[in-house]
Chains A and B, each alone.
Chain A
């Protein structure tokens, strides 16, 4: 169990160009499950490899339990890593794979065997101990990779997109298994993924990265409900948040956002925060699940109607996605409605919008405009 602190971490690869990681700072508490989330190429794996000691650090520090480890070799950092490709040694049996790290640390033979069998029992690998990796399924290999990390009893677990090679069903079951193991062991964990579902379901906190920088850190629902900028707003959520250009106008002592021939109220936004944008453009965000064909009773009294035209209907079984054109300029938005909708392509539809669920972003910086909680 340990804390991991990253301060101003940067990485520039040979060959010039933009740094892959730019001054990333992050503190992972003891026993916390921290997820590094971002699109491919955002620098999250580079950060993980620098924490592991597999990549030299260009600038900044990595500290484990307050001790800087920049110049400490990977083998001495007491960190175990699970790789995307599992990295199982193909010429060794499962037993030998699990024991490999312990043998190097001069652990007595009977202790190695005890720990290997204990972890194998925990992960359901006992029947496969004599097999080699090529004789295992993807899920079994994943468990061996996890077992190899667990058996070392390290201070920190690092996971580099361990589920990306699994099929959808196996990904769900393995994800739950990982969460269970981490909770039982209580080991500090840093988990890299580009999958928002994994991030939302697994992490105690999410650190969202984009183009080498940290964009937002917070609890999953906090980040989902209060995205720091338009990138986070679009990255989390499937379908992503609708972002529309709007105009902020003052009517009396309150501000409204005008888009799609509709002026919507902005409850929760204090006037001082909106004053710089009055008379000008803003980006308005609304999640698909906050657009209703028939709003629920709790939301209905405060909704506003917008006239739309149905461009496409995607029935997904449990729900239906509607592609809608709004207003005279035909801006497109996506709404998530119930599975029993009667709307068809080409229909005119009046869609209810919850003003409390609106988000505003600065059109130039893309940062979220602050609202009251």
Chain B
């Protein structure tokens, strides 16, 4: 009887989880199905499962529709931006967490206020700045923009984690003869790896899917990133739905792989230090 009651108590939660899974996972499965069907097949019956699996669509998207170029552009931009924002953000977070210096509160406020401003507000100024410095329509310019816009969140997450590290560790390292940068490199970074993995994963996912800055700041087709590649299949009067779905699957694959590899570390990083 008791077991039955326990099951009954869990039913609303289970129902919610099932509904949520269907709502969030359903569209993904639908796009996955469409990526293996041709556009005429999709228009015939949008929700049907593939009868024949058209794997050649992926090769077609990669070679004939320039997806290979977009993929490498995305990889270069995102990997470089994530590496830079992680390094700079970690150093900033370490300083803010460990040192009390004049103006530290103002520095913290200025950095974290970057989270408050929406991209739509910043895009015009960024456009003008990149134009003035000859970085408009360049991957380097986009990397700089990504680093700047993701720095706030990275510092916010890492500062919280670094602040929980016992001060004694750093005092011991000072007594052992290590200078400030060496302490950051040898103590803070290795111990902070769970939180760093979290920010790397979050930043990668966000930047890989980033569209607004890329569409405004890149005009050449050869410099486009993957989210912009989808536009290739959007004509003035029609959409190549099948190829859009294929393009989306190519775009999403690295993100799924990254999350599959690092999700456990990311969750550990989010909760590390919550309970001492």
Contacts and interface: CB of A to CB of B under 8 A. Distances in A.
B168 interface: yes
A269 B175 CA distance: 50
Given A84-B168, A85-B166, A87-B169, A52 B178 contact: no
Interface in A41-89: 49, 52-54, 73-75, 79-81, 83-87, 89
B177 A104 contact: yes
Interface in A98-147: 100-101, 104-105
Nearest to B166: A85
Nearest to B182: A104
A90 interface: yes
Nearest to B193: A91
Contacts of A148: 172
A133 B244 CA distance: 52
Contact of A91 (B175, B176, B178, B191): B191
Contact of B172 (A49, A73, A83): A83
Contacts, number: 53
A75 B175 contact: yes
Interface residues of B, number: 15
A87 B171 contact: yes
B179 to A, nearest CB: 8
Given A87-B168, A87-B169, A80 B175 contact: yes
Given A91-B190, A91-B191, A85 B175 contact: no
Contact of B178 (A75, A80, A87): A75
A54 B190 contact: no
Contact of A83 (B171, B182, B191): B171
A101 B190 contact: no
B100 to A, nearest CB: 8
A89 B174 contact: no
Interface string B159-170: 000000010110
| Binding site secondary structure of chain B | helix
A84 B174 CA distance: 16
B172 A75 contact: no
B191 A90 contact: yes
Nearest to B187: A89
Of B173, B174, B175, most A-chain CB atoms within 10 Å = B175
Nearest to A152: B176
Contacts of A89: 169, 172-173, 187, 191
Contacts of B191: 89-91
Contacts of B171: 49, 52, 54, 81, 83, 87
A240 to B, nearest CB: 32
A310 to B, nearest CB: 46
B177 A101 contact: yes
B87 to A, nearest CB: 19
B105 to A, nearest CB: 14
Interface centre among A73, A80, A81, A87, by most B CB within 10 Å? A87
A101 B177 CA distance: 7
A174 B111 CA distance: 48
Given A89-B187, A90-B191, A91-B191, A74 B175 contact: yes
A84 B175 CA distance: 15
Contacts of A101: 175-177
Contacts of A105: 177
A75 B174 contact: yes
Contacts of B166: 85, 87
B98 to A, nearest CB: 13
A75 B168 contact: no
A87 B173 CA distance: 9
Contacts of A49: 171
A84 B190 CA distance: 23
Contacts of B182: 104
Given A84-B168, A87-B166, A89-B187, A54 B176 contact: no
B177 A81 contact: no
A74 B182 CA distance: 15
B172 A81 contact: yes
A58 B190 CA distance: 35
A147 B178 CA distance: 19
A75 B176 contact: yes
A104 B174 CA distance: 11
Contacts of A79: 175
Nearest to A80: B175
Question: Which 6 pairs of residues, A with B, have the shortest CB-CB distance?
Answer: A101-B176, A75-B177, A87-B168, A87-B172, A104-B177, A91-B190
Interface of A: 49, 52-54, 73-75, 79-81, 83-87, 89-91, 100-101, 104-105, 148, 152
19 contacts: A52-B171, A74-B174, A74-B175, A81-B171, A81-B172, A83-B171, A83-B172, A85-B166, A85-B168, A87-B168, A89-B169, A89-B172, A89-B191, A100-B176, A101-B175, A104-B176, A104-B177, A104-B178, A148-B172
Interface of B: 166, 168-169, 171-178, 182, 187, 190-191
